[in-house]
Chain A
Amino acid sequence: MKLKGLFSTAIAIATGLIVLVGYFVELPLLVNLRITILNWAIILAALALFIGLFNLLAVHADKVRSKKKGGFYSLILILAMLVTLALGLWLRPDHSLMAMIFNAFQLPVEASLMAMLVVTLTYASIRLLRRRSNLISVIFLVTALLILLGSAPLPFIGSLPIVSDMIRPFIAQVLAAAGARGILIGVALGALTTGLRVLFGAERPYGGM
């Protein structure tokens, strides 16, 4: 490992340990250090966001320059980004025009993509049996169907008596809740061991891995 790598690893491990111990041990010095380090991290994350935006700009500028397919859309993206940035800096983000830009452009586009999910997920459910035709897939689809039938009232019939009163609550509150907790415990343990690997320096996502 190069000297630069050693130095960054030592700093990362030391700050990680201070934050971890400061979280559990309530010594004023440690707690203050932890809060200061976390504030630095938030400032750095904001700066990284700005660098990320330059990356986005560079990628799309390259597409426009090299006249790649879809370059026109990249040009629109760059113009929209620059205009919004300039307006935000000039008027401040809480100005009504900024809210209007968000509500008139960003929100409808995201809502449309959300609506597309309905079609995508229905199609994915149909494909599931073709891709993985096993018992688990059948259980998955039957459960999804029962939850749908139990959640949404049907035309002319209304709520299905047994499905919406007994089966849906049992699946959602007992079976699904138990499974979800099990998965969440597993995810938490995985997150713990991943964090420890970083603290030990076995993984170095901060340069020269």
Chain B
Amino acid sequence: MNWIGLTGFGFVILSAILMASLAFLRRKSTPVFREIPAFARLRKAIGLAVEEGSRLHISLGRGGLTTPQSAAELAGLEMLHRVAELTSASDRPPVATSGDGAVAILSQDALKASDQAVLSSGDDVTAARLTGLTPFSYAAGTLLVMREEEVSANILIGNFGVEVALLTDAAERENSSSLAASDNLPAQAILYASAQDALIGEELFAAGAYVKARPFHSASLIVQDSLRWLVVIAILVGAILKLAGLL
């Protein structure tokens, strides 16, 4: 193993140890996060959807589980599971759309597993849909769901490209709210301009914790913040060493 591989492996092991220790130490304490207004509005939208009997739409993007975008898809699936749990009292379960076969199957599974009320409709194959396999066919298929399913709020979370602008525009036209996050940089810029609430950068991976936190979620957010500081310090030290001519 070369030194880059060794550093990477050490980084992963350090993160795992930190996360496990923090999750154990904080297992009984209530997690406290910095306030992100988008999540406060999302919780309100979930409550409203349950009261009104309208539907929530969770779009998981078009990334696959065997691609480098799998982490964004996992974050989306986590969000879907939490939202399905929170809307279990509603007459209408959330509808999930995705652009990958494996993610579509897992989203069906997440809806089924959420709880008893959702279980009653868990056999409904139309609750989790594969809407298209190419970026724009995925967007076109998802637009139909947003228009025809009496959706009151859209949560777009996963791997999206520039086609996400069509989805946020449709949400605006349908007078439904939209919270959106993508791991793709051009999509993040587009979301900032077009979505009602956009999550930037690593906020995508914190979404599940903000909706319903468990000890491991709060631990992972603390680890994420600590590692970020570690990277910041490493970059600054590297820049200083470079300026001093030592690197």
Tell me if B193 is interfacial: C-beta within 8 Å of chain A. Answer: yes
Closest A residue by C-beta to B82: A209
* B135, B137, B144, B193 — most chain A CB neighbours (10 Å): B193
Q: Does A133 contact B (CB under 8 A)?
A: no
CB-based closest 8 A-B pairs:
A190-B205, A52-B101, A191-B71, A202-B216, A48-B101, A49-B101, A190-B202, A124-B194
What is the bound-complex CA distance between A51 and B183, given in angstroms?
Answer: 26
> A50 to chain B: which residues have CB within 8 Å?
101
Residues of A within 8 A of B125 (CB): 55, 58-59
**B40-64 CB contact bits vs A (8 Å, 1 = yes)?**
0000000000000000000000001
Do the beta carbons of A69 and B183 come within 8 Å of each other?
Answer: no
Report the bound CA distance from A70 to B140 in whole Å.
14
Residues from chain B with a CB closer than 8 A to the CB of A193 are 15, 19, 205, 220-221, 223-224
Q: B188–A183 contact, CB under 8 A?
A: yes
Describe B's contact surface by its main secondary structure.
helix
Is B87 interfacial (CB 8 A cutoff)?
Answer: no
| Contact, CB under 8 Å: A117 / B216 | no
| Cβ contacts under 8 Å, B137 to chain A | 106, 109-110
Q: Hey, which chain A residues are within 8 Å of B109, CB to CB?
A: 205-207
Contacts of B101 in A (CB 8 A): 45, 47-53
Interface string of B85-115 (1 = CB under 8 A from A): 0000000000000001110111011100110
A-binding residues in B (CB < 8 A): 1, 5-6, 8-9, 11-12, 15-16, 19-20, 23, 64-66, 71-72, 74-75, 77-78, 81, 100-102, 104-106, 108-110, 113-114, 125-126, 128-131, 133-137, 139-141, 144, 148, 162-163, 165-166, 168-169, 172, 183, 185, 188, 190, 192-194, 196, 200-202, 204-206, 208, 214, 216-217, 220-221, 223-224, 227-228, 231
Once bound together, how far apart are the Cα atoms of A205 and B221, in whole Å?
19
Which of A's residues lie within 8 Å of B, judged by CB?
Answer: 20, 24-26, 38, 41-42, 44-45, 47-53, 55-56, 58-59, 62, 68-70, 106, 109-110, 113-114, 116-117, 120-121, 123-125, 127-128, 131, 140, 180, 182-187, 189-200, 202-203, 205-209
